[in-house]
Amino acid sequence: MLPAIQEGEPDYTDHFVCQNCQHHDTIPTKDILFNQILTGVIGLVFSVYLFITHLSGLLSGIQHDKMKNSLQDGGLTFLSLIFLSGFSYILFRAYSGIRHRHEYTKKTKSPH
């Protein structure tokens, strides 16, 4: 696969074309992959903190029979789980983008 440059294409992707069959493929740039990883990790850490905080508040309320804030803590625990799954998906997309990029940009070793 050889890098292919086309005018008018967005800057957030790299294009490659096969020299034998003319197959085109688009892969994300390193900047996009870095941003996905950074966003995913920061969001994941923040979401884990929120999940642990609200889950402990919910379980503490259940244990001490103080259900005053149980609906709020339960809802926020569920919301933090949604955010956890979203940021995990972003990290998964970054991982698959890195693997896809590596297939096209790996260096061939010279026999010398």
Q: Do residues 51 and 81 make contact, with C-beta atoms less than 8 angstroms apart?
A: yes
- The C-alpha R_g of the chain, in whole angstroms, comes to 22
Cα 54 from Cα 43, distance rounded (Å):
16
Q: What's the pTM value of the predicted model, to 2 decimals? A: 0.73
Read off the pLDDT of residues 2-36 as tens digits, 9 standing for 90 and up: 455 555 555 555 666 666 676 666 777 888 899 99
Per-residue pLDDT at 22? 67
| pLDDT for the residue numbered 79 | 95
